[in-house]
Chain A
């Protein structure tokens, strides 16, 4: 298997622009997680899905952030409008079966908002 795939790997945009990050989980994994990583706050869970249904979005910082999972093989994280403080590395991860099992992380998207 190719592992978790994320695109783009790097994104540079200007404040106010819309940003869409994409993720393809490992085939057969029922759970998908979106994380944000910064030096100050470490790894923060933003939202996770089970069987394409959002379960917990309490980590989403504000209404500018939204995530969707239209099918088992694709998810998006959208920021609209983007702000400089959104600059971070965003990771997608997937896991098999249930919470409390190995999460497989993608390579991340490094977002820079100017």
Chain B
């Protein structure tokens, strides 16, 4: 049963610390998305990649967030420095192509104190 995996599942950190979240997309999927979910805003797209190349990161605060795909099996989202307003659930999703169904991972629940 192919699934998107994310680590860590939970992260508690202090303001100013660096946070790195990792995602393993479904094998064979070439498009990877990062979303943030909060009660107030719902699901918001942060960035996405196709064939490891960034296509859109306009949803990300550029001064503190960065997203990369070091290889086809790993996507990372980094926050440096973290702030309390970054507290949210971060989801990774992958798809076989641009118009295909997105499959979501279980999320990383981040709390910045």
* A is bound by B: no
B interface with A by C-beta (< 8 Å): none
